[in-house]
Amino acid sequence: MTNTVGEQRTAGEPRTTGDRSAVGEQRTPAPSGEVGGTDSRAVAATTARADRTDAEAGVRLAYRQAGLAEPERVVWVDSPLVGTAAVLLLTGGRATLPSDVAPRAARALRAVGVEPDAPRPGCSVREEMRTAPWEAERRRVLTELGPRGWAARWALTSAPLWELTRGG
């Protein structure tokens, strides 16, 4: 896994205050421009199968680092479309789904012991898992580098991924 400033760690390895490199440390950018040697654009755009063991360990680690209980289970589906459909099934949105997608999502949920028509999703953890950690790290880097340094770091590491995500 790559943390926010680019150093490599093994999935599930705890983050300690000593393993964070200095934000201003000079490193050779990967082909995507990310500091630390990982081509994040290639990783973000890949359609290769995930290493489920490592991915699930990373999910559980992220929950722990956010101060949350680990999820009871991680549900794997065969596409983002089916994942979205699974969420809609669990939140009462079945009527909005195309008829060919709902059964695929229901099968994926049943495979891990979740009954799709008995909705019981937990509360959203978006704030704790994404927004708060991102804002804390952004604030730390901005404080350390200043506005111009932050803009340069964003342009080098995150802007290319944002454009890829937006389809730009």
Beta-carbon contacts of 63 under 8 Å, excluding residues fewer than 6 positions away, are 69, 70, 71, 125, 129
Q: What is the span of the domain harbouring residue 65?
A: 47-75
The first and second tokens of residue 58, run together, are 């990373």
Q: Which residue has the higher pLDDT, 160 or 60?
A: 60
Task: Give the pLDDT band (50/70/90) at residue 167.
Answer: low
- 6 inside domain: no
Q: Are residues 104 and 131 in the same domain?
A: no
pLDDT in tens, 115-129: 887 767 778 888 999
pLDDT beyond 50 at 10: no
Q: Are residues 52 and 91 in the same domain?
A: no
Q: What is the CA radius of gyration of the chain?
A: 19
User: What is the number of domains present in the chain?
Assistant: 3
Beta-carbon contacts of 67 under 8 Å, excluding residues fewer than 6 positions away, are 128
pLDDT in tens, 147-162: 999 999 988 888 877 7
pLDDT beyond 90 at 77: no
- 36 inside domain: no
- 89 inside domain: yes
Most confident by average pLDDT, 23-37, 46-60, 153-167:
46-60
Q: Are residues 132 and 94 in the same domain?
A: no
pLDDT at position 46 is 80
- 63 inside domain: yes
pTM confidence score: 0.61
pLDDT at position 38 is 66
- 83 inside domain: yes
d(CA 61, CA 83): 21
Mean pLDDT of the 46-53 span:
87
3-state class of 145 per DSSP? helix
The first and second tokens of residue 62, run together, are 């992220």
pLDDT at position 94 is 86
Q: Which residue has the higher pLDDT, 25 or 108?
A: 108
Q: Are residues 90 and 107 in the same domain?
A: yes
pLDDT at position 112 is 86
Alpha helices in the chain (DSSP H): 40-45, 52-65, 80-90, 102-111, 126, 132-157, 159-166
Mean pLDDT of the 3-11 span:
35
Q: Are residues 89 and 118 in the same domain?
A: yes
- 156 inside domain: yes
Q: Are residues 137 and 166 in the same domain?
A: yes
d(CA 102, CA 95): 9
pLDDT beyond 50 at 79: yes
- 101 inside domain: yes
pLDDT at position 49 is 85
- 11 inside domain: no
Q: Are residues 71 and 105 in the same domain?
A: no
Q: Quick one: 55 exposed, middle or buried, by C-beta within 10 A (0-12, 13-18, 19+)?
A: middle
Which among 110, 28, 124 is positioned nearest to 73, based on CA atoms?
110
